[in-house]
A and B are shown apart, each in its own frame.
Chain A
Amino acid sequence: MADYTQMWQDLGLDLKSHDALLGVLGKAYADIFLAQKDRPEGMKYFDFVMSEVHGLRIREIVDAKAQGRVVVGSYCVFVPEELVLAVDGVAVGLCAGAEFGFEAAETLLPRNTCSLIKSMFGFKLGRVCPYLESCDVVVGENTCDGKKKAYEIFAPLVKDLYVMDMPQTKSEAGKKLLREEYKKFIAKLEKASGKKITPASLKKAIETVNLKRKAMIRLNALRAADPAPISGLDSLLISQVFFHDDPARFTDSVNKLCDELEARVKGHTGVAPKGTTRIVISGCPMAVPNWKVPLLIETSKAVIVGEESCVGERSTRWLTEVKGSTVDEMLDAIVDRYFSIDCAVFTPNPTRVDHVKEMAKKLHANGVIHYSLQFCQPYIMESGPVEKDLEKSHVPTLRLETDYSGEDAGQLKTRIEAFVERLKKR
């Protein structure tokens, strides 16, 4: 990796802490990802992306800024990337997945806050995330109560925090609210970038993001094969990179990987022997570098074949219909697309469990592991009914509740192994 010290310094990073974080991350990546057997060649691109995750990609973003492009960071799949691209902006996902700076975070937040939120504060207070530090605008959204209140406390810490309101029901009123919020967001983006969204720029943005999602849909469909052509860990990594890589290059790399995976499927080769127990993960998002539970699963004689999560199908499975000739008409299509997202903040939220069932069937999964972050009320509350519904539909389900720390790895391992043993007996 080239020397990026000056760039990091200019972004205001705490170099000592940042070095420490990169050190831990690099080692974890080698132990977890590079140590896997029979990885597809196409993963080399993602290995490279990860080796330069705070280097080359940040350089690109800093260069884009220098060219007058606005950098917009967000923490949720409800923030439409299409709109950011339509003002020629750079969209970056900021969710953090490491137990870093929690002590500092706890000076501002209650201890009983989910790891995702704590990590977002830890990364900011510790000044270790170059993505966050590159942002001209940071977008928050009123999804769960934890995040809503967290943004109030977060606002003074960042240059320009823009908070979007969010509906809680899939009603006409809810949809109207979302549309109004997206409209306001367009105004915000136009002001921050100094550029107008035109029908042409929006159409192009919609197509770019559709292509990116289509590549992910293609990848996820290939995982239905037995033997699984790619590990769950590698697939999760790709879903994580989805949020910060250059969209066109990402799409291209995923499609190239898919070509290779298609050949694997045809040749009946994969990363685990045919007949290996197959798991779908459902629940809370796993942001980089949160690889804890997938690692435990895939070192317990099982392979993950799908993720029903924001870092997974919940962010990729819907495309935006390319229709209309005005910005307003295209916005309608964007609203239709985003309003389909079945996040647990909605009440009721029946399509989510239907989709989990569909995934289990389509991907030939033997069981579902429901993953909740501790103190994530919406997903924990929903996990009970989801489990009941799945079991009733003969989809064995294991509910796990955990956080970013490593202290419960032993207990989780016992549950996961027992669950895999249960699935094997069937």
Chain B
Amino acid sequence: MRYAGIDLGSRTIKLAVIEDGRLVLSRKAPSSHDPLGTARQLMDGAGFDRIMATGYGRHLIRGHFDCPVISEISAFVRGSRFFSDHCCAILDIGGQDTKAISLDTDGGLCKFEMNDRCAAGTGRFLEIMAITLGFTLEEFADAALSAEKAEKINSMCTVFAESEVVSLIAQGAGRNEVALGIHKAIVSRSGGLLKRVAPEGPIFFAGGVALNPCALALLKTETGRPVFVPPDPQIVGAVGAALSAAENG
């Protein structure tokens, strides 16, 4: 049996297929203006017997395909255990949400917290800040890593932070230092969220922002805790949904 999980995120849609307990296929595409169309393309030819949906758009897809849904929080819990069995805390920084989750000793969902209703301090925040500074996302992380000191960014609101960055640049602050400041701001905010629900133990770092080497380095130094990043941190939710699809039948 092949089990698929589809994670309809706000910025990226991810598909994973599990067969005989192994991850046999994964696909990703930007959500675009037509997430349902994108999901269809990803599912096309993937070959699966059962599918479960998760992510922001999970209820959207349910109206069009006959598939059960699971919240992304449970999907991340399930998915994280596929890649690591020793992490008791999950930090997921995605396009629109930041989630901090603690696991109980059996790897079940214990407590969780999420960021507020806006995109403050999420992946989208980093994207906008990169654009403001004229970087691609890759250049943005490298620039931040090359800075020796960070400019302090106070605002976490994407709109306010943009004006803050613009005025820092106008005051002659270095672009790399501002870049580092932005990374620090997002990591310290997420770290705070994590501290509230899962204050100790190794961290499982997932979501698109886990691909950012500067965010990863800062998370390690700021928390002083071991950080584990799966081979593809973006597909954890999809893998979790696929595993749940397997259990549900």
Q: Which residues of A contact B (CB under 8 A)?
A: 391, 401, 407-408, 410-411, 413-415, 417-418, 421-422, 425
Closest-CB distance, A182 to chain B (whole angstroms): 41
Contact of B117 among A391, A411, A413, A425 (CB under 8 A): A411
- Given A401-B116, A421-B74, A422-B110, 4 additional A-B pairs, CB 8 A: A410-B56, A411-B97, A413-B59, A415-B73
Closest-CB distance, A372 to chain B (whole angstroms): 13
Closest 9 CB pairs of A and B: A418-B73, A418-B71, A417-B71, A408-B117, A421-B74, A422-B109, A425-B108, A411-B117, A414-B71
B70 at the A/B interface (Cβ < 8 Å)? yes
Docked CA distance A265–B97 (Å)? 42
B56 touches A418 (CB 8 A): no
Closest to A407 in B: B117
B97-133 CB mask vs A (1 if < 8 Å, else 0) is 1000000000011111010110000000000000000
A414 touches B73 (CB 8 A): yes
Chain A residues, Cβ within 8 Å of B110 = 422
Contact of B72 among A391, A408, A414, A425 (CB under 8 A): A414
Closest-CB distance, A96 to chain B (whole angstroms): 22
Chain A residues, Cβ within 8 Å of B56 = 410, 414
Docked CA distance A408–B72 (Å)? 16
Task: Offer 27 A-B interface pairs, CB within 8 angstroms, sorted by A.
Answer: A407-B117, A410-B56, A411-B97, A414-B56, A414-B73, A414-B97, A414-B114, A415-B73, A415-B112, A417-B70, A417-B71, A418-B71, A418-B72, A418-B74, A418-B109, A418-B112, A421-B70, A421-B71, A421-B73, A421-B74, A421-B109, A422-B74, A422-B108, A422-B109, A422-B110, A425-B108, A425-B109
Chain A residues, Cβ within 8 Å of B116 = 401
Chain B residues, Cβ within 8 Å of A411 = 97, 114, 117
Closest-CB distance, A422 to chain B (whole angstroms): 5
Closest-CB distance, B91 to chain A (whole angstroms): 15
Docked CA distance A301–B211 (Å)? 35
Closest to A411 in B: B117
Chain A residues, Cβ within 8 Å of B111 = 391
Q: Which of A410, A414, A425 neighbours the largest number of chain B CB atoms within 10 Å of its CB?
A: A414
Given the known interface contacts A410-B56, A421-B70, A421-B73, the answer about A415 and B114 at a Cβ–Cβ threshold of 8 Å is: yes
Closest to B114 in A: A415
Docked CA distance A421–B77 (Å)? 11
Chain B residues, Cβ within 8 Å of A414 = 56, 71-73, 97, 114
Chain B residues, Cβ within 8 Å of A418 = 71-74, 109, 112
Docked CA distance A421–B72 (Å)? 11
Docked CA distance A57–B179 (Å)? 62
Docked CA distance A337–B5 (Å)? 55
Closest-CB distance, B226 to chain A (whole angstroms): 25
Chain B residues, Cβ within 8 Å of A407 = 117
Docked CA distance A415–B98 (Å)? 12
The interface on chain B, measured as residues whose beta carbon lies within 8 A of the other chain's beta carbons, has a size of 16
Q: Which of B59, B108, B114, B117 neighbours the largest number of chain A CB atoms within 10 Å of its CB?
A: B117
Docked CA distance A410–B112 (Å)? 16
Docked CA distance A190–B112 (Å)? 54
Closest to A391 in B: B111
Closest-CB distance, B13 to chain A (whole angstroms): 16
Closest to A416 in B: B71
Closest-CB distance, A297 to chain B (whole angstroms): 13
Chain B residues, Cβ within 8 Å of A415 = 73, 112, 114
Docked CA distance A408–B115 (Å)? 12
Closest-CB distance, A328 to chain B (whole angstroms): 51
Docked CA distance A121–B245 (Å)? 49
Docked CA distance A414–B94 (Å)? 14
Chain A residues, Cβ within 8 Å of B114 = 411, 414-415
Closest to A421 in B: B74
Closest-CB distance, B83 to chain A (whole angstroms): 20
Chain A residues, Cβ within 8 Å of B117 = 407-408, 411
Closest to A413 in B: B59
Chain B residues, Cβ within 8 Å of A391 = 111
Chain B residues, Cβ within 8 Å of A413 = 59
Docked CA distance A408–B114 (Å)? 12
Docked CA distance A425–B71 (Å)? 14
Closest to A401 in B: B116
Closest-CB distance, B123 to chain A (whole angstroms): 16
Closest to B196 in A: A384
Closest-CB distance, B30 to chain A (whole angstroms): 19
Docked CA distance A422–B110 (Å)? 7
Docked CA distance A421–B70 (Å)? 8
Docked CA distance A421–B116 (Å)? 21
Closest-CB distance, B29 to chain A (whole angstroms): 21
Docked CA distance A410–B119 (Å)? 13
Docked CA distance A417–B109 (Å)? 12
Closest to A384 in B: B196
Closest-CB distance, B95 to chain A (whole angstroms): 13
Docked CA distance A417–B108 (Å)? 15
Chain B residues, Cβ within 8 Å of A417 = 70-71
Closest-CB distance, A140 to chain B (whole angstroms): 31
Docked CA distance A415–B72 (Å)? 9
Taking CB atoms and an 8 Å cut-off, the chain B residues in 130-182 that contact chain A are: none
Closest-CB distance, B142 to chain A (whole angstroms): 32
Docked CA distance A417–B112 (Å)? 12
Q: Which of A407, A408, A425 neighbours the largest number of chain B CB atoms within 10 Å of its CB?
A: A425
Docked CA distance A224–B70 (Å)? 28
Closest-CB distance, B213 to chain A (whole angstroms): 29
Closest to B69 in A: A417
Closest-CB distance, A391 to chain B (whole angstroms): 8
